[in-house]
Amino acid sequence: MIRLEPRTEPSRAMIALTPILAVLATMIAGGILFSVLGKNPFEAIRMIFWDPVLGEHAFYYRGQILVKAAPLIMIALGLSFGFRAGIWNIGAEGQFIMGAVIGAAAGLALYPSQSIFVYPIMLIAGTLGGMLWALIPAYLKIKFNANEILVSLMLVYVAFNFLAGMVTGPLRDPDGFNFPESRSFQQWDAASNPELIAGSGIHWGVLMTLGLVIVAYIVLTRHIFGFHIRLAGQSPRAAKFGGVNPNKMIAICLGLSGALAGMAGLYEVTGPAGKLTTTFPLGYGFTAIIVAFLGRLHPIGILLAGLLLAVTYVGGDVIQANLSLPKASIQVFQGMLLFFLLAVDVLVHFRLRFKRGI
Amino acid sequence: MSKLLRLNGLTKAYPGVIANNAVSFDIGTGEIHALLGENGAGKSTLVKMIYGLVKPDSGEMEFAGQPFAPSEPRAARQSGVAMVFQHFSLFEALNVAENIALGMENPPRSNILSKQIREVSAKYGLTIDPDRLVGDLSAGERQRVEIIRCLLQDPKLLIMDEPTSVLTPQEVDTLFITLRKLQAEGTSILYISHKLDEIRTLCEHATVLRGGKVVGTCIPSQETAKSLAEMMVGAKLQTPKKAATELGQPLLKLENLSLQSKDPFGTSLRNITFMLRAGEILGIGGVAGNGQDELMLALSGEELVDANAISLKGEFIGQLGPTPRRMRGLLAAPEERLGHAAAPDMSLTENSLLTAFYRQRLGRRGFVNKQASENFTKAIIQQFDVRTPGITNTAKSLSGGNLQKFVVGREIVQNPTVFVVNQPTWGVDAAAAASIRQALLELASNGAGVLVISQDLDELMEVSDNFAVLAEGRLSKPQNAKGVTVEEIGLMMGGSEIA
């Protein structure tokens, strides 16, 4: 029988290896899932992981990978700081929506100005919108010790309805034949976030994401703030002794993750999405939680994990189109990834021992 | 005298260490037998094997003439072995009778149990009310609950692990009376302690462990405390000496400091007032749980108090947090090494940053200077003889004594104006304890003020210039440490004669 034996030190090899193991386990379990649905599992897995990157029609999909990866990575970077400090912002989806709505509203107030200040104003407004939305759970946690997991999650549904109210009300396109959507930002140069190189998927948000990965890496490994974040997560009482104010930490971590989610929302609404609609949220805020953990809460890991999850997003579109699998099947697939990651994580702190007999 | 327990060649190895190596000795019926040894000598492992918590790799035991190999504590209890642990396992929110019932296989009805508790407590002088909430009891009373729990099982062998570490001298006397009564009735007692004077007065035989092996047996009453200690350590001991110094300027003043404890079973501080001068070591004694932790938090800046309640060199600092206090020269080392004074999973270098980043300028604009922080860490390790393979090792990989040297050294290397330390040598072997005390004495003779909070009276008497006792959140008036007797201290610890 198999026994788990605690390791004296966490295994560094396993920290790097478990994400790969999790991906493999997800492929196997996903393959079983697809064959139960009556599809060829090898074909489905190939379509998810291979076709978007190197397949026959990959030129069409490749741009999509960066478009999807950028918001995932940007949001996950913000979340990773809080997760390291033991502050659980589960509501990035809501902050993403609020960033898009507030940023879009700030821009639309200036319509049809062609000033070069329009876009910076929208970016700041979107970032602040996401940040303030995340500071609500922060305030409630500091003031009343309310659980930030519940509050931030519930605020996602408030944000959903706020978005719906806005696109059917104040932000509805006056020239839009009463459709529940805002004006298009793609057709308004001062407020658009266009694809910079045709077919590449690169827009301003992608470049910003790459910059943020580097900044996050430096802060986490070289700056005392990164040290305090890790300290607060591993050993809260030692952190307090070291002079880390736990309330300040809550506000900073939630505010920061909300700001990045809001910024991602603004780049999304002005770029790939183009306008606010009721179907604007795609679940990036939730998937980013998977990205953060799959990337081991480390900026470089998050970069890689974001690209991988983006591939499964695009691959999900491929199997949806080619194998007529339901959209939910790819969401299950992504969910399994987190599930398996958490399961194989046990190998970091334990080793398996095979023993005969009892 | 007939033998109750016979150990023969007990060996237990853990990966990388042999905790017990062919340990053999006997305990007679009605004998109080001491088990002596430093931390890590293998006392706990040995006791756990007798109590069925750990299985020996080889060797055998005999209990009352029968082969004895308990597979679990329940089996050991059924044979008549009972144990009082050093750390109590009691629920503070339940009353005494409920706590005792929880530890029994078949608890009787509560009114019958209460009656039994009253009978046992009257018989052995263990005064306790079965209806009281454990959270309201003192440490000594909690220990009585644990002892009564054992006595209700009618044990033949009672194992006591460091039973007096939390007691006042008077409570120790009461405990000894109880133990002698049990002995007179034929109960054997295995008594684990590192307090050598107690062992000399109480125990008939002693077995000394060092490095997992029996290194000697003796009759304690025929030995001196010093000879017992040297047997334990295996080397000659040096007593730290303080150079006589004149006390200088007042450095730290507390005036009517009060603090409501956040812990429901903690102790609030009430009107703490004292003054600490340059070159002075002020010892604060008292039983744990009388406000020591709260006083530490109030001084380190983790809990804020009235601005005017604390002043450092004339500046009011009660409202300042830990970092600004450190910048002004008030450094602290809390009692709990892992999790409070140090982050267990972080490297020693990272743990240096914990208190030294700002004061030692180990970086610029918040960016950590790797070289500077490594050099600082190496300086601590070198000056305080911290045994570790390297500065990248995690704090939890160090032994208790080495980590304590690191935690105390980290502050002393930073040249504090005032240094506050809680339990500087708790759970530390004798050699490391002596070197830490020496460092405190040197720090004071170099003109710093040192506040030592400790439960170890011998330690306080050894290092302190002045001495006060913390009881129920109040501090007695500090007095010259040379003039007080142990009896006076005991009364102060019990809360009386508080000036």
**Distance of alpha carbon B265 from alpha carbon B136, whole angstroms:** 7
Q: What pLDDT does B196 receive?
A: 76
Of the CA atoms within 13 Å of residue B18, those in its CB half-sphere come to: 14
Give the mean model confidence (pLDDT) for residues B370-385: 93
> Which sign does the torsion angle of CA B475, B463, B452, B308 carry?
positive
**Chain A partners within 8 Å of B336 (Cβ):** 237
Query: For residue B461, is it left (φ>0), alpha (ψ between -120 and 50) or beta?
Result: alpha
pLDDT of residue B78: 86
Strands B205-210 and B32-36: parallel
Query: A225 contacts in B (CB within 8 Å)?
Result: 366
Higher-scoring residue by pLDDT: B201, B378: B378
| Residue A136: other Cβ atoms inside 10 A | 20
Q: What is the pLDDT of residues B258-285, one digit of tens each?
A: 998 887 777 899 999 999 999 999 999 8
What are the structural domains of chain B?
3-233 (3.40.50.300), 250-493 (3.40.50.300)
Complex confidence, ipTM: 0.80
Report the residue from B302, B344, B363 with minimal CB separation from A240: B302
Contacts of A353 (CB under 8 A, 6+ apart): A2, A3, A4, A5
Place of tokens 């082969």: B67
pLDDT score recorded for residue B499: 40
Q: Which residues fall within 8 angstroms of residue A187, CB to CB, at 6 or more apart? A: none
What tokens does B456 get? 């170890």
pLDDT at B390 over 60: yes
B452-474: pLDDT as tens digits: 998 877 788 888 999 898 888 88
Phi, psi values for residue A18, rounded to 5°:
-60, -35
Taking CA atoms, what residue in B is nearest to A229? B354
Instruction: Measure in Å the smallest separation between the Cα of A272 and chain B Cα atoms.
Output: 37
Query: Which of A209-218, B193-202, B289-298, B481-490 has the least mean pLDDT?
Result: B481-490
Most A-contacting residue of B323, B330, B354, B392 (CB-CB within 10 A), to test interface: B354
Interval B333-373: pLDDT, tens: 998 888 899 998 899 999 999 999 999 999 888 899 999 99
- Name all domains of chain A by residue range, CATH numbers in brackets: 40-324 (1.10.3470)
Q: CA angle, A16 as apex, A221 and A235 as ends, to 5°?
A: 50
Backbone angles phi, psi at B288, to 5 degrees: -55, 145
Q: What is the H or E stretch that residue B383 is in?
A: helix B370-383
Q: How many residues does chain A have?
A: 358
Query: What does the alpha-carbon distance between residue B342 and residue B360 come to, in Å, rounded to a whole number?
Result: 17
Quickly state the pLDDT bin for B89 (edges 50, 70, 90).
confident
- Spell out which chain B residues touch chain A, with contact meaning CB-CB distance below 8 angstroms: 15, 300-302, 321-323, 326, 332, 334, 336, 339-346, 350, 353-355, 357-358, 363, 366-368, 394, 397
Task: State whether residue A174 sits within 8 Å of chain B by CB.
Answer: no
pLDDT in tens, A165-219: 999 989 888 888 888 888 888 888 888 888 888 878 889 999 999 999 999 999 9
Q: Which residue has the tokens 């004998």?
A: B31
Helix%, strand%, coil% for chain A, nearest 5: 70, 5, 25
The model's pLDDT over A23-73, given as tens digits with 9 standing for 90+, comes to 899 999 999 999 998 889 999 899 888 888 888 778 888 888 999 999 999
